[in-house]
Structure 1
């Protein structure tokens, strides 16, 4: 293991960068996958018009991507577990870029859906492999910092990728946006030529990777993340029709609101991780969910009580900012809380939590499309806050149940330690041997 930890240091020293080039390349790759996933919200109007489908139907591109990612991530992790990451990651990223070029050429919605499936499967394999590679090769004192960059790549896609992609779509068409995503993937592939080489991890079966689901805390948190993800992101997936209903604006000004969402989401990720160190995971998560719920309620009130097109950007922007910051702030503390309760299963736990999140995004696309078609865009925030609140309540129950179990185990362990250390009782050493020196002879 010592040799694998030396590679990042030497790479940093040679490049003169505070972060190795291969880490930056992996960050760019996750940025491209995040943009590819979320960009549908920004190009929905132009894409649906060009392919002659409704916006609700076009929104199912999000459903397909998220569902494929959520189901495919743990399965693909097993299928590619014997492959070398320094060969697999460039190949996956190049394949991802190729799929995006083909999507730009798609003649029909059906062809686009098929290509979208391939893109999602490549991303579902790429991102967890990238995170595992960073965890394996980063120096111990920089591991958390490098891993945060992988997550930041996804949130940065909301800050820069989606707004820029929306602007490109408005000026040059949605197909040009797909080409731009492909170019980002191609650039990341070149940077991955500097990936470190080292011992690969032990291959695990699907059953072993899913073993953490047997822990109530992991299972409960994953299910809660699924519900919260479906509710928290529903207004974002269909932000274009919701924005048009509230303000009367079009794609040009929509990019401003998407930019605000991205910047606030990125700030929420950083703030959530920092505040959790002081407040603790539970309090930080509760604050984020409460803030998000409150702002989505405001969106519901604005959409149902005011005339269509009467909401100004000055009113909408701060609401979107707090909403985005809230829903992204609880991810880092939740990851930290789960990892501390599943030692030795880091990759599996993060993969399962990510699967829950993306399956939630899938539900937000399908359920949101049904709500949009049936009740109109003003009903989206109502459905959103219902799911977000339900997921938050479920997660609170998981935290409470886990705290009770851990308290009980701690008291039981304390009692055993006290008994073992008392005169006349044998003491059990760390290696499992029993010290009977203090036991009186009979």
Structure 2
């Protein structure tokens, strides 16, 4: 029995022998080094998306704009991700996946390098939007590539390793990059991200194998997969999950300061703890999704809704608030790998457009969640925000149950279609 392996000396796939035990589902081996290259790319993407939040005053002062104007750098990036992923996928869907990853990382590097030297606000926001175009497509293609680098029983785990780059960026990358920007100027932070992009690019070129893909699916097939009711429902469920996250996360600082009574400087460490929870949830969620995909997603969404409702009560107790926030981080990101695999499973013959569009849906969920959180504060007070988020998560849970019902109904219909009528004699 043979196994496809990458030969670094030739840059091509080679065949080598292995024992049957290597591919046994129960036999766990370390994830390949090639996955790390994708994780570094996701880490750099996570930094470039969120680092601007800590540098807004520095950017505003340097470019002589107001804080709200500087805040549009965040909005512009989010819209770039939402719009850019499907557009870029449409124009690049025929490019082999390794070459596409190289192209996307080059776009990412150029966008961040332009951010370093941008002399005006207009050029900076343009550079940010250019960078954002690579965001969703890189994560979508990277997730698909990750599933091809491992055995079938580890697909969700491989996706979680790639997405771990985003979560680790929030724990290490953003605080460290913000510190660099505050000490050496905000442009140096984007310089550091550019260097990370170059490292990821080198790793992709050197270690990612060239995997034969056959004839790429045409755009019509990609689009038909995207607009299938089941796929659109899962995209909506993902948006609900992200919406429940950002409804609370956007306003977590005033909640911890005004309700829990923490000093503002202590919030940073609570957010770091939340980041550890997010990373843990991402990894555990990948393992659970490999084990039982739909049951793990349904249970996870249920736990997420309950924790958000409980947060309304525990916010009044500092210790319980911190514990709940950590557990909420675990539950919030535990759903991400499973949702990606769910989309890939439903669009197996042409997954690219649907997988990259998931990141558009997630970012739209982020924006909607932040808006709903602000609506809650205006109309029912700060303490009510977790309840609104819990309702959003509960809607996501209902969507999952509906998705499961639709799948079971289709399977029953297909089985009935396959039953041949018996002729009477």
TM-score by length of 1: 0.75
Once the two structures are superposed, residues 398-423 of structure 1 have per-residue CA deviations (whole angstroms, 9 ceiling, x without a partner) of: 23333444444455566667x64xxx
**1:229-378 correspondence runs (5 A):** 229-237=242-250, 247-250=262-265, 253-275=266-288, 277=291, 280-295=296-311, 297=312, 317-364=322-369, 367=371
CA distance in 2, matches of 1:105, 1:380: 40
1:226 paired residue among 239, 246, 268: 239
Q: Cα–Cα, structure 1 residues 68 and 196, in superposed 2: closer, same or farther, change >3 Å? A: same
How far off its partner does 1:134 sit? 3.1
1:113 paired residue among 105, 125, 135: 125
Contact kept, 8 Å, 1:272 with 1:332, in 2: the verdict is yes
**1:210-225 correspondence runs (5 A):** 210-225=223-238
Match of 1:210, SS state, is helix
Q: Cα–Cα, structure 1 residues 154 and 247, in superposed 2: closer, same or farther, change >3 Å? A: same
Match of 1:280, SS state, is helix
CA distance in 2, matches of 1:214, 1:317: 41
How far off its partner does 1:247 sit? 3.8
Quote the residue 2:114 is aligned against: 102
Quote the residue 1:396 is aligned against: 397
CA distance in 1, matches of 2:381, 2:362: 22
Quote the residue 1:429 is aligned against: none
Match of 1:223, SS state, is helix
Q: Cα–Cα, structure 1 residues 54 and 263, in superposed 2: closer, same or farther, change >3 Å? A: farther
Q: Cα–Cα, structure 1 residues 67 and 23, in superposed 2: closer, same or farther, change >3 Å? A: same
How far off its partner does 1:155 sit? 1.9
Q: Cα–Cα, structure 1 residues 412 and 371, in superposed 2: closer, same or farther, change >3 Å? A: closer
Q: Cα–Cα, structure 1 residues 131 and 102, in superposed 2: closer, same or farther, change >3 Å? A: same
Please say which of residues 228-237 and 322-331 is displaced more in the overlay.
Answer: 228-237
Quote the residue 1:182 is aligned against: 194
How far off its partner does 1:86 sit? 3.5
Q: Which structure 2 residue ranges, 5 or more long, are not aligned?
A: 8-12, 18-28
Aligned Cα RMSD in Å?
3.8
Q: Cα–Cα, structure 1 residues 412 and 363, in superposed 2: closer, same or farther, change >3 Å? A: closer
Match of 1:203, SS state, is coil
How far off its partner does 1:331 sit? 2.0
CA distance in 2, matches of 1:191, 1:88: 14
Q: Which structure 1 residue ranges, 5 or more long, are not aligned?
A: 303-310, 427-438
CA distance in 2, matches of 1:164, 1:396: 36
Decide which structure has the larger Cα Rg and report it. Answer: 1
CA distance in 2, matches of 1:53, 1:247: 32
How far off its partner does 1:102 sit? 2.5
Q: Cα–Cα, structure 1 residues 51 and 106, in superposed 2: closer, same or farther, change >3 Å? A: same
Once the two structures are superposed, residues 146-191 of structure 1 have per-residue CA deviations (whole angstroms, 9 ceiling, x without a partner) of: 3332122222222221232233334434333222211211111221
Please say which of residues 269-278 and 25-34 is displaced more in the overlay.
Answer: 269-278
Aligned length: 402
Contact kept, 8 Å, 2:155 with 2:341, in 1: the verdict is no
Quote the residue 2:222 is aligned against: 209
How far off its partner does 1:263 sit? 0.9
CA distance in 1, matches of 2:417, 2:216: 37
